[in-house]
Structure 1
Amino acid sequence: MEKVNSIIDNLPMQTYKGTSVLDAARSVGINIPTLCHLADLTPEGSCRVCVVEVEGVRGLVTACTYPVSEGMIVHTNSAAIREARKSVVELMLANHPQECLSCQRNLDCELQALASTLGVREIKYGGERRQFAIDDSNPFIIRDNNKCILCGRCVRVCKEVQCCNTLDWTERGFNTKVTPAFDEDMVNTSSCVFCGTCVSACPVGALTEKAMNGVGRPDKKVKTTCPFCGAGCNYDLNVKDGKLIGVTSNLTSVVNGRLTCVKGRFGTDYVHSPERLTTPLIKKNGEFVEASWDEALDLISTRFTEIKNKYGSDALAAVSSARCVNEENYIMQKFMRAVIGTNNVDHCARICHAPTVAGLAASFGSGAMTNSINEISQCKVIFLIGGNPTEAHPAIGAKMRQALRNGAKLIVADPRRIELAAKSHVWMQLTPGTDIALINGMMRIILKNGWHDQEFINQNTTDFAKMAEVVEKYTPEYVEEITGVPKHLLFEASKMYATSERAAIFYTLGITEHICGTDNVMSLANLAMLTGNVGKLYSGVNPMRGQNNVQGSCDMGALPNVYSGYQKVNDPQIHAKFEKAWGAKLSDKIGYMLPDMIDASIAGKLKAMYVMGEDPIRSDGDAHHVRKGFEHLEFLVVQNIFMTETGKLADVILPAASFAEKDGTFTNCERRVQRVRQAIDPIGNSRPDWQIIRDLSNKMGYQMSYNDPSEIMDEMASLSPMFAGLSFKRIDKNGLQWPVPDKEHPGTQYLHVDGKFTCGLGVFKAIEHQPPAELPDAEYPFLLTTGRILYHYCITTAGYSKQLTDYRPEERAMIHPDDAKRLNIVNQDFITVTSRRGAVQAKAWVTDDVLPGGIWMSFHYPECPTNEITSGCGDKVTKTYEYKVCAVKVAKVTGEYF
């Protein structure tokens, strides 16, 4: 790129041609004030605050839009410039309410600060003031157009960053204002997702958050990692008087920048819920009573030891947590292996992305997202299958919308018309449970048309012929019969994906939560290898991991077959290494998976469980069966921040600290290990999970001397080659993407560079279509599938955020209009959804977003425990439940609903 020489305020400088005067000046420390400009938005030059003089140019020009050129001489602070800026601010203040002392943005207002800097001491101009109604119709954001300075930041950030186009200009002249369409309240605007990104952009008090725990300027801001989905957004926790009062964007956040979602920005009020557990509880005579920490830990130590001595180590098991930090997952699996002596440890990856770990490891050698989140906006072709990122991973969904804005092509395959389906170039509405047939059909079309990458296949893969032989029978006609997808759409999708230079696959639980979940994942790996779309930028196979630290929980070894870094427990050398490091006798027997734990309990083989940060009775499939398993235990310990359905059956409850009350790390879906920082003291008498496990271990005679989570990270890194370069110091600013094999390694943006797979050669798998375990029949004629909604995420914390619950308080079951009409159901009627395992009730949501004969429900609401009716059948490799397909019947509730 060509460089040019210029002079700014008598300072010679060289910069790239086309750079704005504003950016050039700031690069050498010259401050030019702005109000309408933000570095991550398109320059507009509307506020006129950044005006400068350019010699040879008549009049003043806006620095944010004017490019530097060879020989340019610029003045940024002459008397004329200062007077012009002052006049602009005085004119703004003439129409601005004089309510600074009572405004939420007082002392944090850019207009206020600029007026002070420019020496504005009085309002020189008088006249009519605007009298717009204040919109506070929603639980999240207050919109006060009387304070708006018409800078347009909110319009541009909604258009360019979140890509929702919710806000725009209305009216003209004195009555010009920024509003949603038709000047509706924000609560009635379907395109507003209450992400708060517009609030982050507003320089004044026109857009503000509703207070979480009091108002006023925070005492401090603490950068941390969001505790909701696996995108791994960073933001600042705002703290005042020892309480969280809000969340604000932190532009240094490498994953999301200023982007937030409604959960991350407004859902952290659950931290101060009055229903938090704040002291240990012991069940006596069927009732919980408060206990000291010593009393509770002594009881657990005694009972665990008794059960271990009487029945053996494998009579105990633990459920670790994707809600907890990496260090807590590491110490939990270490506790079970070194103290208890069993590999019976698992966590919620078993019920969501275990097929990802198994499937991608089998095909590529590494079970993780191959590429990075910030590549998405520059992708040329995106194939989204079995995922709904705009609701489940909103920052990723926003980046997909950015990609579309940048000209990308989008293919969506999903049984439901999600938001991105409406924006896609090809939408394939397939029957649930038919993904393999669809992918095989695409591969056959690609092969028949010669769109495959034979050179990549020859050099980097094996078993191609076996796969090609199997897909031969998946003709477009055969695939249409199985999936319901018209063959012309199958052809369009295949051509679009295969003929692009680089195309990326994204998926989530719509792929994994089937009896063939691992095969589904390997089928997508086949498709990527067939076209050479792996091992390079803007491509790959990219699972959007579910909860905030489900990737990290797997990485830390909270699985029954591996230690940290996916080192196998039955490998003699690995086994010996950990025995020596931990100074303990370890088992080399692969432990129980979570569903196995339930069955073993019912069979009398498992006697005690330790459940940290999870609620299996609400989260696992066929919840009645899961409850039965926990009821059969002799002793149950539950460690959580809230009382759960599983906790109600416990013998001991241990109150844990939330993400805001402890230090540690989370690992997001792109393998980025990032800091979690303590912002407030633990609530009540609660403690961080790692401290609880450490203290219990010490009581049981195995000494753990950690004083800080960083020490746990250091131990883990020393034992795990793929994480050897990790430390709190190295990840402090931007995190690092594993593998990080040494202390100098910069991290890995994308895996399998140039087709060099972790396992050597990538392995094609010959995979046949397999029907779901349970299909509709005469008695249960509907097909139920489940998923997440935007306004809730985790079963453990759902319902405890007042702001989120106020906005979306109840379950709504999607049903097709044809089915609703036949059953005399109208929108908002209560319906009963019944499977062979139970029944739940919810309000009907009549919509053609679902297929005829289909029902869609979320699993967030305690009043509607959807998993009481989902299937207990699981993936044949990982035993992940088939949440996405089960047979149900539907009936309208008559009479009064309770």
Structure 2
Amino acid sequence: MTNSINEVAGADFILAIGTNTSETHPIIALQVKKALRQGATLAVVDPRRTEVAQLAQYHLRVKSGTDVALLNGLAHVIIDEGLWNKEFVDKRTEGFVALKELAERYTPDYVEEITGVPAETLREVARGYARAQNATILYTMGLTQHVNGTHNVFAVANLAMLCGQIGKKHSGVNPLRGQNNVQGSCDMGALPDVLTGYQKITDNLVRAKFAQVWNVPELPPQPGLTIGEMMKAAAEGKVKGMYIMGENPVLSDADANHIKEALSKLDFLVVQDIFLTETAQMADVVLPAASFAEKDGTFTNTERRVQRVRKAIEPVGEAKADWEILCKVANAMGFSMSYESPAEIMKEIASLTPSYGGISYTRLEQESLQWPCPTSDHPGTPLLHRGVFLRGLGKFHPIEYLPSSETPDHEYPLILSTGRRLYHYHTGTMTLRSAALEQHYPNEYLEMNAMDAEKYGLEDGDRVKVSSRRGSVEVVVRVMDVTPVGFVFTSFHYPLVPVNQLTNAACDPISRVPELKACAVKVEKVT
């Protein structure tokens, strides 16, 4: 997030795109509701009529995968009606002319043809966002898990810069992270092309700095493989071994049948987890990890806030903290890796990572800190891009709309999208072991519009087979007005409904994120 969570409540206009905020980020949704009580306007862009969409003054029920066209349409109205922040654009950005030329083609009527959003609604939302004193954009994986996900984010950034709604309080571009420490994992280099703090592996000086501290001759300059590329290489026999930590790709990854096939071809699979997940059941060796309550460390949340986590109990059985397991494995492989505590590891992180340079356990005992925090006397940075962008001038990216990798046809006439439910989480590794949650929400269902149900001869409660070009699963159908015609939805939490056997592994060419939010399916009654 460019801004802090509590700033959402002070926004005059909130554009929530591809985010079911009240179910997937309920604490942040409280800030949205507070803003509404204080008179803010909320516009929600989502095919589904979610709870947060029901709270909104504007629900832009887009066709799945058409977000770029919608965002370009908003830019068109803002430019055409002279509503953009001319001072901000002139002083702090570059590339405006190219964006203006692109946006000219995305008239409200043309955008309505692509997205299904009425032209007048598009105009009203564009005016509201542009005229607001402080407007914030919230988004999640409904925006990014498409083959054009990176372009979607570029288009969001275009809109924020066009109206000067960035670099000040109660505004900004605010992606809401999907897990409690996914931000921290990325910060620590859990990406194939960077080391800690997003320092590029291709930078000679960066590699030399790390090599010296780690006491190795050199680090390889080539970026590694993404998850999708790893699985493809495993299926082709090019990757022989894999070490998976805290991940359950057999249920969570797109085209899950291909994932199982790839893992089965490995010579050796290690899984490090707190439960025997579906993926761990395929492993040659399972290393029992400690849960959050059994170890010391830090979490970095969606607003870049680094917070201490303190051990409440000793690890149960043979479980150990992840860092202890990794040290033991490294030493067994002949590389000396010895740390006394997470505090010592954080000290090394600070020495190598400019954005974490001023963060230490001593400071974190007193307060949490938001990075960048470069020095020991720095207070942290609640607000990014104040006064200047990291690259200097903010760059507009004129982005053309392209359709999803799969669109409906005669054989597969419906679009399936996946997401989360309030009561469960990801592949249910933990939440499905909670008796209260399991009792409250024991089974999954497929949301379907009443017109589609009538068309395919289905009634509420029928068991159906949902099929794509990659597989089939069975699930109970619920007929409801949450989903639009031609669109069905379910979660990926339930092992008994492994919906990612259906989803499309086609990837965004830049981020390599698969298109989990749109695949073509057919639905048939199970007799």
| Range class of TM-score, shorter chain | over 0.9
Contact conserved, 2:137 with 2:173, CA < 8 A, in 1? yes
Q: Distance in 2 between matches of 1:798 and 1:859?
A: 13
**CA distance in structure 2 between the aligned counterparts of 1:813 and 1:547, rounded to whole angstroms:** 24
Partner of 2:7: 375
**1:721 partner amino acid:** P
Residue 689 in 1 paired to residue 322 in 2?
yes
Task: Quote the Cα distance in structure 1 between the aligned partners of 2:55 and 2:322.
Answer: 43
Report the alpha carbon displacement of residue 705 of structure 1 after superposing the two structures with TM: 1.8
- Residue 648 of structure 1 corresponds to 281
CA deviation profile, 1:807-851 (whole Å, cap 9, x unmatched): 101111100011112222222221111111111111112111111
Q: Secondary structure at the match of 1:686?
A: coil
Q: Secondary structure at the match of 2:489?
A: strand
| Aligned mates of 2:436, 2:342 — CA distance in 1 | 32
- Partner residue, 2:482: 849
What residue is the counterpart of 2:499 in the other structure? 866
- 2:42 is matched with 410
Q: Does residue 548 in structure 1 map to residue 206 in structure 2? A: no
Alignment gaps of 5+ in structure 2: none
Pick from 211, 220, 227: which aligns with 1:579?
A: 211
| C-alpha distance in structure 2 between counterparts of 1:778 and 1:519, whole Å | 29
Cα displacement (A) at 1:771: 0.1
Match for residue 365 of structure 2 among 732, 736, 754: 732
- SS of 2:112's equivalent in the other structure is helix
Task: Please point out which of 55, 80, 83 is paired with 1:423.
Answer: 55
Determine helix, strand or coil for the equivalent of 2:433: coil
Please tell me whether the aligned partners of residues 426 and 492 of structure 2 are also in contact (alpha carbons under 8 angstroms): no
Question: CA distance change for structure 1 residues 439 and 727 in 2, over 3 Å: closer, same or farther?
Answer: same
Please name the residue that 2:381 is paired with. 748
Which of 7, 23, 27 is residue 391 of structure 1 equivalent to?
23
Aligned counterparts of 1:716 and 1:449: Cα–Cα separation in 2: 49
Structure 1 segments, 4+ long, off by >4 Å, are none
Q: Residue in 1 aligned with 2:243? A: 610
Q: 1:518 aligns with which of 142, 150, 154?
A: 150
Kindly indicate whether residue 451 of structure 2 is the aligned counterpart of residue 818 of structure 1: yes
Match of 1:135 in 2: none
2:401 is aligned with 1:765: no
> Structure 2: which amino acid aligns with 1:586?
L
Q: CA offset at residue 803 of structure 1?
A: 1.5
Note the alpha carbon deviations across 1:471-520, whole angstroms, 9 max, x for none.
11001110000000000100110011000111000000110000000000
Q: Match of 2:6, as an amino acid? A: N
Q: More displaced, 629-638 or 793-802?
A: 793-802
Q: What CA distance in whole angstroms lies between the structure 1 residues aligned with 2:392 and 2:253?
A: 36
* Post-superposition offset of 1:794: 2.6
State the alpha-carbon separation in 1 of the partners of residues 193 and 345 from structure 2.
21
Partner of 1:713, secondary structure, is: helix
Percent of pairs with identical residues: 49
Amino acid at match of 1:622: D
Matches within 5 A, 1:144-223: none
Provide Cα deviations, 1:262-317, integer angstroms capped at 9, x if missing partner: xxxxxxxxxxxxxxxxxxxxxxxxxxxxxxxxxxxxxxxxxxxxxxxxxxxxxxxx
TM-score normalized by the length of structure 1: 0.58
After TM superposition, give the deviation of residue 448 of structure 1 in Å.
0.7
In 2, Cα distance between equivalents of 1:675 and 1:701: 32
Tell me which residue corresponds to 1:875. Answer: 508
By how many angstroms is 1:608 displaced? 0.6
Q: Distance in 1 between matches of 2:467 and 2:434?
A: 29
Letter in 1 for 2:96: F
- Counterpart amino acid of residue 729 in structure 1: T
Aligned equivalent of 2:312 = 679
Superposed CA offset, 1:196-221 (max 9, x none): xxxxxxxxxxxxxxxxxxxxxxxxxx
Partners of 1:806 and 1:687 in 2: CA distance: 31
Aligned to 1:776: 408
3-state DSSP class of the match of 1:799? helix
The CA deviation string for residues 88-121 of structure 1, in whole angstroms up to 9 with x for no partner, is xxxxxxxxxxxxxxxxxxxxxxxxxxxxxxxxxx
Amino acid at match of 1:521: V
Alpha-carbon distance change, 806 to 734 in structure 1, aligned in 2, over 3 angstroms: farther
Contact map agreement 2:9 2:170 (CA 8 A) in 1: no
Identify the match of residue 557 of structure 1 among 189, 193, 196: 189
TM-score by length of 2: 0.98
Give the superposition deviation at 1:798: 3.9
- State the partner residue of 1:887: 520
Quick check: which has more Rg, 1 or 2? 1
Q: Is residue 2:359 matched to residue 1:704?
A: no
2:168 is the alignment partner of 1:536? yes
Which amino acid counterpart does residue 761 of structure 1 have in structure 2?
L
For these two proteins, the number of residue pairs brought into alignment is 525
For structure 1, the residue ranges without an aligned partner over 5 or more in a row are 1-368
Aligned-residue offset at 1:733: 3.8
Q: Hey, what's the Cα distance between the residues in 2 that align with 1:826 and 1:547?
A: 36
Output the CA distance in 2 between the equivalents of 1:427 and 1:569. 42
Q: Distance in 2 between matches of 1:586 and 1:572?
A: 9
- Residue of structure 2 in register with 1:32 after alignment: none
SS at 2:76 equivalent: helix
Q: CA deviation at 1:797?
A: 2.4
For CA contacts below 8 A with separation 6 or more, give which structure has more relative contact order: 2
Q: Does 1:786 align with 2:418?
A: yes
Deviation at 1:415, TM superposition (A): 0.5
- Name the SS for the 1:636 alignment partner: strand
How far 1:603 moved relative to its partner?
A: 1.9
Q: Is the 8 A contact 1:421 1:427 kept in 2?
A: yes
Q: CA deviation at 1:418?
A: 0.9
Contact in 2 for aligned 1:547/1:794 (Cα 8 Å): no
Residue 507 of structure 1 is matched in structure 2 by 139
Q: Is the 8 A contact 1:798 1:861 kept in 2?
A: no
- The residue aligned with 1:804 is 437
The Cα shift of 1:643 comes to 1.1
